[in-house]
Amino acid sequence: MRHVLKPAPLLAPEQDTFTNLMEVKNTMYDVDIMMLGHFAKDRLVVDGVGEFASGGAVYYGSVALRHIGASVAIVTRLHSNDFPLLDELKREGVEVFATAAPETSGIKNIYNSADMERRICKLMAFAGPFQQEDIPDISARVYLITPIIAGEVSLALLKSLSARGPVGLDIQGFVRVREDGELIFRQWPDMVEGLAHVTYLKVDRAEAELLTDQTDLRIAARQLATYGPREVVITQSSGVTVYADGETFEAPFTPRSLAGRTGRGDTCFATYVGKRLTLPAEEACRFAAAVTTLKQEQPGPWRGNLADVEALLTAK
Q: What percent of the chain is predicted at pLDDT more than 70?
A: 89
Residue type, 282: E
pLDDT at 3 > cutoff 50: no
List the single range of 15-19, 20-24, 235-239 with lowest mean pLDDT.
15-19
Q: 148 or 108, which is more confident?
A: 148
Burial of 28 (0-12, 13-18, 19+ CB in 10 A): exposed
In tens, the pLDDT along 266-316 reads 999 999 999 999 999 999 999 999 999 999 999 999 999 999 999 999 986
List, in order of start, the domains of the chain with CATH numbers: 28-315 (3.40.1190.20)
Average pLDDT of every residue of the chain: 90
List the single range of 32-36, 92-96, 154-158, 183-187 with lowest mean pLDDT.
183-187
Query: What is the predicted pLDDT for the residue at 137?
Result: 96
How would residue 22 be classed by pLDDT, with cut points 50, 70 and 90? Answer: very low
pLDDT at 25 > cutoff 60: no
pLDDT at 5 > cutoff 50: no
Whole-angstrom Cα distance, residue 35 to residue 62? 8
In tens, the pLDDT along 234-268 reads 999 999 999 999 999 999 999 999 889 889 999 99
Mean pLDDT of all residues in 4-10: 37
pLDDT at 17 > cutoff 50: no
pLDDT at 130 > cutoff 70: yes
How would residue 23 be classed by pLDDT, with cut points 50, 70 and 90? Answer: very low
- The pTM of this model reads 0.89
pLDDT at 15 > cutoff 80: no
pLDDT at 26 > cutoff 60: no
Query: What is the predicted pLDDT for the residue at 114?
Result: 59
pLDDT at 190 > cutoff 60: yes
